[in-house]
Structure 1
């Protein structure tokens, strides 16, 4: 029988078990059916049979090998142990009969409708594990593994991944467990067969595993415990919670063209229409026209108005049909109720419309109107961004919605579900040195979904790295599958990670699966990093703008070089907190640095602590000699130079920091492909020093060096870089 036929047969048998349970009005499979489902996927389970009463249970025990376990089976009793419905280590048939008779008298069991009693052979001794699964509302099936017993009940020592997983994912999950050493053997105990455990994980969560095969039907799955010993793994308990019968899934729009062709009119529009501008008032659409003019848009601007002959000095047109040319991009800020018909009547003469107006799916009473908007867009052949957003910024296309945005074309692509936050990212990012290939606000994402714009940036040669602000990823499975194959780094600032709402947990898996688990798993399975604040978002994107990533040697070893002993100590702690190493140099490197005979007070152990007096040597060019030894002998993955700017005030006639940029430029040219180099420039908060730091930032940007305000911010960014390098190595092989 072929593999495909085997998989199809497994799916069919499982569907039969699930259908039979649903026909009986059950919300779960009983344990016998749950174990039959596991066995169908090649997972070892104890031999067992279902008995109707104590006498039959004793008879079954006589046909199996003891010792035995007996469990109550009832659709009304999900947690059998809590009801007193489990008896262990029963030596023979007589003990089985007595156990059934005694359990039948328990109050919760006596009051329930029973299917019978499961009699099974006890599994051999081993380490208790828990393997579970659940259907995440955004990403679909997810797998959990953890140490069983007290480790899951109290310590919550578990790891999660989005399905399907592969063997490397399974190994990484085990590596996250604090109790991993117990699997290797501890205090004289033998180690367990980890390969067998990984095989069970793959049969549950792999591409052809149980969770993917029955994705639509299983809400929660709990195998607790799975007994793993030196000779294999056996699932001794199975709890399968069924999902509510699924309705029809909404149709997913299929891109008829490549992402590049679909969204080129957005990022490089030749014709822009504006709906909502007025001859009387200065509304948001009028402001948009004025900003486009000030930004230097070189294409054609077409105000659309039913009666006005002219708006903002531009000839106005009554409709899309009346414009001299088809419209690449339309900015729509009219009453929400008018928009579905406007889109429906576009007649293929508008490629992309951005709906600024609110009053749609973000409020309960607007959900039907949002559906009408999407339907109208389909009819009119328009792709829609929004509604409930602010606009798109594309310096290469002369398109903007913020005022005074930088005109320089950069390499960072942004997709955001918040218009106001995007303005903040653009403006704050500009001051920090970020430059953008584009920034798109998508609001409710009624039509164009985040992953479609990510696809554009992934194919866009102008974009080096992608930043996302998301509250609801919409088509999470498509998003995940795309990111798994991504060959560019992605930074995600996720809003609302704790308020999506969870299914009512009927298992350990459900109870442990908080809203953030899917996103944490996404980070571990794709070249993406989750950040918590706008500052962290900008910091990491700034590093990615300037660094050439090194997947072949992911960032871990760091040289910390600067002035201030206390800052160096605290900086070392900050790097250790994000699992990067500021480790002392080996003797041969220290000897080379000590041979420079630097001024007293200098320490070269790593951190390299250089007082102001040292950095003033040779008007600051001494730093180049130090960096030559670091790059040539120590070979770190990253170098962070940190400077307390206030310590240099009034100290000499030459500014060694200005010369430092020449040093850095020469160092990078001499050691191409060497360690990432970044700066942390600290001030005392005075206006004068903050202005000076702004001057240094511009010099750093010109030579491709990121500047951070503090050492801990740089440490977090470099840790993010290291994670992305490791994940890109996994993608590219």
Structure 2
């Protein structure tokens, strides 16, 4: 606890001892002062007469506010009076407010008389305790209008000064703080000081994360002379936050039995029917799994041509990984009976925590597995796909070992990700379905992928992150984090509709996830297509935090497509800017066929691209890369335009051109390609073949320019986050 926290702890302890659920305003402002946040000079009086007398110790004009544990929003009750000139006005105001119905019916403990703050911009600084991620800090413009304007920014605590500045820049009304339309600018440094005092590493929310559930400093008056909290409200928490578990010291060893199992036990296969466990065994064989498979069955001698054993404990060797698809009620004892001969169990069966009546059984499963030294994946999931270990649950999955690691709480969606990703050119280092994630939590597998040299980027489909604070701390503190793409399910729940404070009411369920992406090398997406698009570029590119992507050269055929493409990149915050004269000169000197434009976007009709059997594109790109040094080259081709246009296929040669250019200009620009088709079977088959050629040279291929622009914007965002972390 910091030095300033000691006195603050007494304020909170006293409020709890008095049975309060929130701090009164005087106590709230005393708490703020312990953290260096300015508040007006004030006194608390018990009567109108005392208010008149003690106002003389302050400087007019005055504000008077009711002090009552029954009144949280004082203005709504008529419990605030402004612009009082002297003690007599204070006395009259107290008498008038005391007679108002809501105040007369409440327990009134006194009246706060304070000096009015000089005029300035009204902001709100707040905080609340997110149930998954812990303390969060908020800043917004608008004072009493904040609920209407909703011009707010959130971050997960702790924040530093740079992040506080970014929060202000996120506000649509940020220009108002800088003196828009000739007005004086505010003291932004003082405002940032206040934000860090609330949400910083030693700030109020982190120091009292177990005690404060919601905080509102509203309004905070900011002017050229500083920032002063005119009002403050703190709602006390009912219980402490759960403690985050310690991270594994060696996740690669912990999860090696999952991704590279030498022995697999299968529970649930049948000698009579083709159960899901039988299908799993067949797929293992078809996939080329080289280890030992032990079907576990109480009476069968053989299943799927393999010797069966009555229990895991009776298998010939200790088991790395068990695939369990038997009745839910039997599973806890089946794992407990492994007698120390099992490392990881993946429970496919449902009937656990996803149902009210199964929660006790799920707790029993986790407890007995822990006693047996077994880590559990699931329950209620589909399996694990690990091409390096010969492990699969979908059929026909690619055998190549790739660079993308995925964790998913949905089994069915995982099959889509693998199969759709396969056709798009995505290859995986692993994919784990975790269902209810009763034991192994998502962040533990992310930690594995971070440590895994095979993995370049991580994708998550999450509905409930479970240990959100541990997840955030991993992403924030890992010495070598990798890009993370999150497809979040269930973002629209109105879980905080009944929040007591402005901050809580404004903090929709997706605020924490948006903050996570704003602070860390994390991208949030909303569809499976966007998820695959993002992972595809992260698989293909070597990220450049030192030179985040911003300037793009758009190169392809189709003038209208180029115009729309320029708009798509602009919408995603990227720039397709015309070349300066020094870059244009060598391009114009090429004397390309009529109809060609080289201004950026570069518009090349099919006839141009067919010159020199397609190698003309390499000459154009050479001039662009040596002269303009763009951050990315975004190529787009309309496949239909090339049908019946001669024997030379310039697109086929284009992959050799790009491979040559990448070799000549290493690290200068990211390359991406959009291949547009008309839906005909002929062109769809061509696009499929081109995608495979592109995959072999590390070139991500998209169906349309907007998807390519969105994926490059994700690269830009992650590069910027990594750059900020390194600096």
Q: 1: distance between equivalents of 2:144 and 2:574?
A: 32
Normalising to structure 2: TM-score of the pair?
0.98
| Aligned-residue offset at 1:15 | 3.4
Q: 2: distance between equivalents of 1:418 and 1:131?
A: 37
1:368 aligns to 2:365 (yes or no): no
Q: 2: distance between equivalents of 1:256 and 1:587?
A: 56
Q: 1: distance between equivalents of 2:389 and 2:248?
A: 23
Equivalent residue number for residue 319 of structure 1: 311
Pick closer, same or farther for the CA change 1:455–1:256 going to 2, 3 Å: closer
Equivalent residue number for residue 596 of structure 2: 602
| Aligned-residue offset at 1:186 | 2.2
Q: 1: distance between equivalents of 2:383 and 2:271?
A: 22
Superposition map of 1:346-425 within 5 A:
346-425=338-417
Q: 2: distance between equivalents of 1:474 and 1:346?
A: 27
Q: 2: distance between equivalents of 1:518 and 1:253?
A: 20
| Aligned-residue offset at 1:126 | 1.8
Superposition map of 1:270-281 within 5 A:
270-281=262-273
1:689 aligns to 2:686 (yes or no): no
Equivalent residue number for residue 422 of structure 2: 430
Equivalent residue number for residue 718 of structure 1: 712
Q: 2: distance between equivalents of 1:549 and 1:671?
A: 15
| Aligned-residue offset at 1:512 | 0.9
Superposition map of 1:200-279 within 5 A:
200-246=194-240, 249=242, 254=246, 257-279=249-271
1:162 aligns to 2:174 (yes or no): no
- 1:225·1:236 contact (CA, 8 Å) conserved in 2? yes
Equivalent residue number for residue 638 of structure 1: 632
Equivalent residue number for residue 136 of structure 1: 130
Equivalent residue number for residue 611 of structure 2: 617
Per-residue Cα deviation, 1:58-86 (whole angstroms, up to 9, x for no partner): 11101111111100111111111111111
| Aligned-residue offset at 1:187 | 2.5
Equivalent residue number for residue 44 of structure 1: 38
1:478 aligns to 2:470 (yes or no): yes
Q: 2: distance between equivalents of 1:304 and 1:732?
A: 51
Per-residue Cα deviation, 1:608-638 (whole angstroms, up to 9, x for no partner): 0111111111111110010001101111100
Q: 2: distance between equivalents of 1:191 and 1:37?
A: 28
Equivalent residue number for residue 662 of structure 2: 668
Q: 2: distance between equivalents of 1:484 and 1:581?
A: 29
Match of 1:544 among 538, 544, 548: 538
Per-residue Cα deviation, 1:485-513 (whole angstroms, up to 9, x for no partner): 35211110000012262262222111111
Per-residue Cα deviation, 1:282-309 (whole angstroms, up to 9, x for no partner): 1000100000011111011011111111
Q: 1: distance between equivalents of 2:2 and 2:531?
A: 48
SS of 1:397's partner is: coil
| Aligned-residue offset at 1:23 | 3.5
1:563 aligns to 2:557 (yes or no): yes
- 1:134·1:143 contact (CA, 8 Å) conserved in 2? yes
Equivalent residue number for residue 300 of structure 1: 292
Q: 1: distance between equivalents of 2:697 and 2:239?
A: 59
Equivalent residue number for residue 515 of structure 1: 509
Q: 2: distance between equivalents of 1:559 and 1:200?
A: 43
Give the paired residue count: 725
Q: 2: distance between equivalents of 1:256 and 1:77?
A: 48
Equivalent residue number for residue 89 of structure 1: 83
- 1:104·1:110 contact (CA, 8 Å) conserved in 2? yes
Q: 2: distance between equivalents of 1:686 and 1:186?
A: 54
- 1:454·1:466 contact (CA, 8 Å) conserved in 2? yes
1:117 aligns to 2:114 (yes or no): no
Equivalent residue number for residue 578 of structure 1: 572
Q: 2: distance between equivalents of 1:224 and 1:125?
A: 14
Q: 2: distance between equivalents of 1:485 and 1:609?
A: 45
SS of 1:172's partner is: helix
Match of 1:6 among 3, 8, 32: 3
Superposition map of 1:179-194 within 5 A:
179-194=173-188
Structure 2 segments unaligned to the other structure (5+ residues) = none
